[in-house]
Structure 1
Amino acid sequence: MAIPIAGTPTLRLRVDPPRSRLTLRVPLASEVEPPVNTLAHVAVEVRIDGNQRFLEISTTDERLVVDGHAMLMAVADRIQLDGIEPVEALEQTLATWETILASRVRLTLQAEVGLVGELLVLRAMLDTAAAGASAWRGGLSEEHDFGFADVDVEVKTTTSEQRRHWIHGLGQLVPTGDSPLWLLSVQLTRAGEGDGHRLPELIDDLRTRVSGADRAILDQSVAAAGWSDDQRDLVTDRWRLRTPPVAFHVADDFPRLTPDLLAAASIDVAPLRQVTYEVELTGRPASSDPPATVATIIKDLGKAFDD
């Protein structure tokens, strides 16, 4: 059944119930080529009827009968009401629908776990007044995650039963200036219902603890780490500490790759564009005499294991 669509130029909507298919037929100039179609359930074809070329846009999935009709009518309105050429009208309509119906993007699991680990450290830091929120460098592309008066700290978080951590880049375990560098190893595991922390709840909790410039730093840092509040319902896992955190002094005996170490081995690092490696710290004893700030944070995070 072909239904004329009133207006100029004359368009037709063909309804094919047995195949649950809708087709919009549009006159097409002889010199115009159809667009490349990247959609799985929309067909775009050129037909010749007599001496006239037509562009036929069809839905090919029965689930698109209702929504596909709205899309085809949007194409028809652009052609008849806005005077847009058929191919451009189709491209504009599909671009609009793709934008409106774009999938929401949530943090990767690795990014979520890493952010939870850093926020737990931040909460312990605020609870003990070890430092203000400005000490957290979060996702701001600084050398290390936390910069305190007495030490820089790189927080590494894993969900593995082993204390294994990924190091990103040759500079991540290089001390900055005269500040000693410590790595704080955090192990998380999924918690039961009502136990542990969901990432959005943890962010909300921290927002209640800071204000003014510190609140701005918190919001800026979680955003730089990839968080936005429209992900709240997509992030459902609850996390708790698997073990008490352990701190390691990143000194000469710590396993790592750095530009200086590779240069000492006569390895030219200039051609190395990306370096990522995993460090196995399972069974490695914690470094003794951590700086006061690190010791305070470890003690606060370890309270859950005191019983």
Structure 2
Amino acid sequence: MTGTSRTSFEAEWQRLLAAPPSSDTRLRVHELPRETSWGHVSLAVDQDGSRHLLVPILSSTRVRSGLDGPGLVLRKRVLEDERSHTTYVALSCGRPELSYLFDDLCADVVVELEELGHQPMKAVYQVVDRWRSLFDRPAGVLSDEAASGLYGELLVLRRLLRDDASAHRCWAGPHGARHDFVLAGVAVEAKTTSHVEGRVIRIHGLDQLEPPENAQLLLAVFRLASASTANAVTLRELAEEVVTLSDDEPAVHTLLSAAGYVIGAVEGNDARAWTVSDERWYAVDDTFPRLTRAGLTAAGVPETVVDVDYSVDLTAGVPAALPQTDVAHLLSSGAPTNHD
């Protein structure tokens, strides 16, 4: 992608949707100030209100097969009027709830065409390959544990992105990594608890609180209270803030999708809301209460012990939480590690 900033086309889409169709078969078309070697790129809306991006191509061009829904649809299309006969590659979205993502995708195509106007299919394919997983992934309702866990990870990610717009590259949780965030010299595991009193967290496996080799492990614990008050922040609001803070919005959308969440796809996920009543960070070292493979081996427990989940109660204040100044220093000293 070039350094050119992307522009939203939502105003243009709305004007097209408001315009009365001239027939059941004609598209309402808005020509954009971007050209390929074969004509102007256009936005279009059909009689069903579906949105299309029309990119002019050479009439003999072959269009990749296999991209025919349920999310993105890519087809060759010929449009005629009294003055012209133009061949397009038409990119469409089959999921209306993801129109906002399709708008971003269209904007990315237009940016790519600034340098690849003579190779429009290459521009379209490059963008589609970055985005298609978001449109094809089936949307489901997150469990309470998954939703609150994702919320905790996004709280950490927001903090990192405020200092470094590329920090999404260290978010490893959606890829199934041992720790949620992996930076140079430090890893972070995020946990949430809904206990009104006490500070009890659930640990999954013997590796989760095992620091990486030659790195420090931090544990971020957030106490969340479900709420519908003005102070509560929904999962969607937090996710959108994270996307905005990042310097690569498609990459963050892809990470969210890998974590099981697509903004706007399921209202029940979007509307989940919490307030953060407490936030504490801990250094996971030899004094921290935990179960690890090395610890069990030293205690004579056979290595055949598997699928270990357990709880850690941090209510008593032992070990003590790190001062926020120490947390800030540790996080700022680590560079993001790419997990794309």
The answer to whether the superposition gives a TM-score over 0.5 is yes
Residue 116 of structure 1, aligned match among 147, 151, 170: 151
* Aligned twin of 1:283: 316
Matched, 1:262 2:274: no
Contact 1:200 1:232 in 2 (8 A): no
C-alpha deviation, 1:203, in angstroms: 1.3
C-alpha deviation, 1:231, in angstroms: 4.1
Distance in structure 1 (CA, Å) of the matches to 2:139 and 2:215: 41
Contact 1:117 1:157 in 2 (8 A): yes
Residues 231-242 of structure 1 aligned to structure 2 (within 5 Å): 231-235=265-269, 236-242=271-277
Contact 2:166 2:246 in 1 (8 A): no
Residue 188 of structure 1, aligned match among 224, 231, 243: 224
Moved more, 113-122 or 216-225: 216-225
Residues 17-166 of structure 1 aligned to structure 2 (within 5 Å): 105-129=140-164, 132-161=167-196, 162-166=198-202
Contact 2:281 2:327 in 1 (8 A): no
Name which one, 1 or 2, has greater alpha-carbon Rg: 1
Contact 2:187 2:218 in 1 (8 A): yes
Distance in structure 2 (CA, Å) of the matches to 1:248 and 1:131: 24
Matched, 1:173 2:209: yes
* Aligned twin of 1:226: 260
Distance in structure 1 (CA, Å) of the matches to 2:153 and 2:329: 15
Amino acid at match of 1:228: V
1:197-253 CA-to-partner distances (Å, cap 9, x unmatched) read 1112221222222243xx24322222222113454311223111111x211111111
C-alpha deviation, 1:129, in angstroms: 3.2
Q: CA RMSD in A?
A: 2.5
Distance in structure 1 (CA, Å) of the matches to 2:212 and 2:218: 11
Distance in structure 1 (CA, Å) of the matches to 2:177 and 2:254: 13
Contact 1:130 1:293 in 2 (8 A): no
Q: Which runs of 5+ in 2 are unaligned?
A: 1-137, 333-340
1:82-101 CA-to-partner distances (Å, cap 9, x unmatched) read xxxxxxxxxxxxxxxxxxxx
C-alpha deviation, 1:264, in angstroms: 0.7
Residues 190-205 of structure 1 aligned to structure 2 (within 5 Å): 190-205=226-241
Change beyond 3 A, Cα 1:254–1:203: same
Change beyond 3 A, Cα 1:295–1:206: closer
How many equivalent pairs are there? 191
* Aligned twin of 1:210: 246
Distance in structure 1 (CA, Å) of the matches to 2:254 and 2:176: 12
* Aligned twin of 1:18: none
Distance in structure 2 (CA, Å) of the matches to 1:140 and 1:130: 20
Distance in structure 2 (CA, Å) of the matches to 1:249 and 1:128: 21
Change beyond 3 A, Cα 1:152–1:138: same
Q: Which runs of 5+ in 1 are unaligned?
A: 1-102, 297-307
Contact 1:160 1:187 in 2 (8 A): yes
Task: State the TM-score, normalizing by the size of structure 1.
Answer: 0.57
Amino acid at match of 1:173: L
Distance in structure 2 (CA, Å) of the matches to 1:291 and 1:208: 24
Distance in structure 1 (CA, Å) of the matches to 2:242 and 2:294: 39
Distance in structure 2 (CA, Å) of the matches to 1:122 and 1:293: 16
C-alpha deviation, 1:295, in angstroms: 6.6
Partner of 2:174, secondary structure, is coil
1:140-193 CA-to-partner distances (Å, cap 9, x unmatched) read 111211122341111111111221111000011111110011111111112333
Distance in structure 1 (CA, Å) of the matches to 2:216 and 2:222: 19
Contact 2:186 2:331 in 1 (8 A): no
* Aligned twin of 2:287: 253
Task: State the TM-score, normalizing by the size of structure 2.
Answer: 0.52
Moved more, 145-154 or 160-169: 145-154
Contact 1:151 1:291 in 2 (8 A): no
Moved more, 162-171 or 149-158: 149-158
Distance in structure 2 (CA, Å) of the matches to 1:118 and 1:293: 19
Partner of 2:175, secondary structure, is coil
C-alpha deviation, 1:282, in angstroms: 1.0
Change beyond 3 A, Cα 1:157–1:174: same
